[in-house]
Amino acid sequence: MIRNPIDVASRVSPRLSALLGSRVDNPECEQPVTLMAVRRFLADLLPDDFKEAERLHHFDVDISILDELDALIEEFDGAALAVDFVQARASESLSRAIEAVVGDENRENPPTLATVRDSILAGLGARLVGDGELEDDEDDTLLAEIDALIEQFGEDTLAEELLRYE
């Protein structure tokens, strides 16, 4: 399968991204998960009367997830990998760690994922717990999460690009 060279995830709504991510991360799903596989899954969840209404009503202001998914399938093909359309974001606790590294006044360059990983290894998580920024158990997952992001995006990716703002 060909991976999409452009950042298509930036064009996906947060709700559809979450649905795609849940299907990609589901160990019971046949891998690799395609847009068409997600569409079939979603269509199977809808009652028959809703499926008919879905075909009849298209709202410009509030496009449904199914309509959005259909538009992606039309543009990128149903065989496109769903993972390419999932918006990657750091968890809330990792976002706090990234913000702590970004806010370091001694830093000359914007921090990369590798820089944040080094800071976590140097005790950033424990410091954030001590400062009350994180709960005791929240720092336990920081290293695994940053490693997964590095594997997906590379260690030179700017950490700020993955911050979660809520």
Rounded CA-CA distance 3/112 in Å is: 24
Rounded CA-CA distance 141/32 in Å is: 26
User: Could you read off the pLDDT of 106-161 as tens digits, one per residue?
Assistant: 888 899 999 999 999 999 999 999 999 998 888 888 998 898 888 877 899 899 88
Rounded CA-CA distance 112/158 in Å is: 4
pTM of the model: 0.57
Where do the domains of the chain lie?
8-85, 92-162
User: Could you read off the pLDDT of 73-110 as tens digits, one per residue?
Assistant: 999 999 999 988 887 778 888 999 999 999 988 888 89
